[in-house]
A and B are shown apart, each in its own frame.
Chain A
Amino acid sequence: MRFWQLLAVSVLLACSTYALHAQAVGDEVANKVFLNSWNTPGGFNEVTDYRGSVLLLDWFGTT
């Protein structure tokens, strides 16, 4: 019984934390400044520079 209670509390905490940090469709996204960039249009140094275009911002890792 205790296991299930702990599991339920953990799930609820995780969900609420996720919901607090999740972005909703239609919300303005957070800006990110590029410390370095490659293959980007000249003068584009942050996410907000892409206003006017549809941007696919992909978070990736090479490992």
Chain B
Amino acid sequence: MPRFNELKTLYETQGLEIVAANYAQNDTEIQDFITTYGATYGMARVADDSGYTVPSYSTVFAIDRQGRLLWSGSSSLVTNAMVEDWLSPPAGKDGGKKEEGCSTSPAPGGSAAAAVLAALAVLGLRSKRIKARRVGALRAGSTVVGKDSGTPGARTDSSQGRQE
């Protein structure tokens, strides 16, 4: 990918390394990919992607100098500013962990929580509709009951019945 070539050229001297990992293709196919796209960044064939959540290709995991996750997401979302932020010296006292807000990715669990909330919202709307239908049915039912209870509506209904 030309984008990774560009990032490598721009930031290699500041300590950026790029490795594209693949477990689905054989060595020949990976070599062909390197030749076709002129990849100058690292390529590696690995056994599998266990330990990494890879929803789709290509997914990037930005890893800090201590081997900790900084960010993960689609490679198309990686900007120069993000890379510069990752390469900047750590601000905290713990020797590397970025201040909250510097990392550009929310915790993956946040997406799951959002999905759960969305599901609950759908269920809530559904139950409201059901309640509304029940209330409507009860009201309709009271009119029917009213036929025998002497309400004005019942009188109308019964009078219509007589006319028929």
Contacts and interface: CB of A to CB of B under 8 A. Distances in A.
Interface of A: 1, 4, 7-8, 11-12, 14-16, 18-19, 21-41, 44, 47-48, 50-63
B150 to A, nearest CB: 37
Interface residues of B, number: 74
Given A25-B106, A38-B42, 18 more contacts: A4-B122, A8-B122, A19-B109, A22-B53, A22-B109, A24-B109, A30-B51, A35-B47, A37-B43, A39-B42, A53-B16, A56-B17, A56-B62, A57-B19, A58-B61, A60-B21, A60-B22, A62-B24
Contacts, number: 212
B24 A61 contact: yes
A51 B22 contact: no
A60 B20 contact: yes
B149 interface: no
A63 B71 contact: no
B112 A16 contact: yes
27 contacts: A16-B112, A22-B108, A24-B109, A28-B69, A29-B51, A33-B46, A36-B30, A36-B45, A37-B19, A38-B31, A38-B44, A51-B67, A54-B15, A54-B65, A54-B70, A55-B16, A55-B18, A55-B63, A56-B4, A56-B16, A56-B18, A56-B78, A58-B4, A58-B21, A59-B20, A62-B32, A63-B25
A28 to B, nearest CB: 5
Nearest to A56: B18
Nearest to B117: A15
Contacts of A36: 27, 30, 44-45
